[in-house]
Every structure is written in C-alpha cells, then in structure tokens.
Amino acid sequence: MAAFYARIAECSGLPVMLQNAPPPMGVGLALERVAELARAVPGIRSVKEEAPPSGQRITRLTELAGDALDAVYGGAGARHLMDELARGAQGTMPACEITGLHVAMVAAWREGRHDDARLLYERTLPLLTMQAVFRWRLTKAVLRRRGLIGSDFTRAPGPALDTQDRRELDLMLARLADLLPWA
C-alpha cells in the first residue's frame, strides 16, 4: 500500500491527502496503519478522517503521526465539526451544499469565536442530519433550490426525497436563508 501512495505522490508531484473512510465507501484503515503510511510516504501530507468516532480518531491520529502530517481534516458531512476542531482538525471536507457556512464556522473557530462557530453549526444540524440519510440526492436538491445547478439528478443510488421530505427541506432552507447566498 505504501508503494501505491508513493507512486501517486511521485507521478503527481502534489501533496497527497489520504481519505480514511469507513465501509461501505472505503475500507476504514486502522489509525496505526494510517500513521505508518504517513511516516513511510513523505508525499502523504494530510488525512481526511471519517471513521466514527471521528473526533477521538483525529486526536489519536495526531498523536500517532506526529509531524509526519501537515493536517488532519474531518468529513462525514461536517456533522461532528465542533468536536473535530476542538481536537485539532484543520477543517472539514463535507459535501458542497452549504460550503460558505462551513467556511464561516471554521473561520470563526480559528479566530477564537467558538460560540459563533457553534451557533452556525447548530443552525445547520437539521440539514446535515437529513443529508446523512439522503446523501447526494439532498446535496443536489439544495444546490438546485439555491439556483446553483439546473438539475438534481444523481447517478448514485439511494433513497429519493418524497413530497414530505421536500417540504421539510424547504423549511430547513428557509431557516438558513439569511446565511446562504442564492443565485
């Protein structure tokens, strides 16, 4: 596995981010293995840790990898962002339906305005919870409603939003309207 990542780093000439996602999306590597890879492959500069509990795993990975990594990021739709930031994550890499709000949360956190970051986070939780169920279908539905894309078609299988789900989504977006740019 180390040879694989070393080859990617060598061929790309770019820093590599290892995404450690649990099944069914990934394999969920043990943290010891992730740290070992980071130490063995200088091109691996960061990790996106998504296996639960991500906050605890970020703490442990930071301890295990030491200065072999420049950064560790959270994922999982930013549903655990406050815990991840409190444990040393540099940010998050969620889906893109409310990117501006995630940027604002991380910026507020980095500026020491933790209460402001938490208020934004708490306002987004209903939407992030719904996104955990509907995944890309919800992400694309939000982007379409915001006028950022023309279709919410997805190739990936998954549950479809029914009439009540769409009503609920519209209510959630109405509660976030003052925070979101609309096209």
Task: Please list the active-site residues.
Answer: 48
44-49/16-20 β-pairing:
parallel
DSSP 160: P
Could you tell me the pTM of the whole model? Answer: 0.91
CB 110 within 8 A of CB 149: no
Residue 154, Cβ neighbours under 10 Å: how many? Answer: 16
Tell me how far apart the terminal alpha carbons of the chain are, to the nearest angstrom: 44
User: How far is the C-alpha of 55 from the C-alpha of 156, rounded, in Å?
Assistant: 28
Percent of the chain whose predicted confidence (pLDDT) is above 70 = 99
Pick the CATH number of 1-94 from 3.40.228.10, 3.20.20.390, 3.40.1180.10, 3.40.50.300: 3.20.20.390
- Is the pLDDT at 25 greater than 90? The verdict is no
pLDDT per position as a tens digit, 131-172: 999 999 999 999 999 999 999 999 988 899 999 999 999 999
Extents of the domains making up the chain: 1-94, 98-183
Residue whose C-alpha is closest to residue 61's, from 29, 109, 94, 25: 29
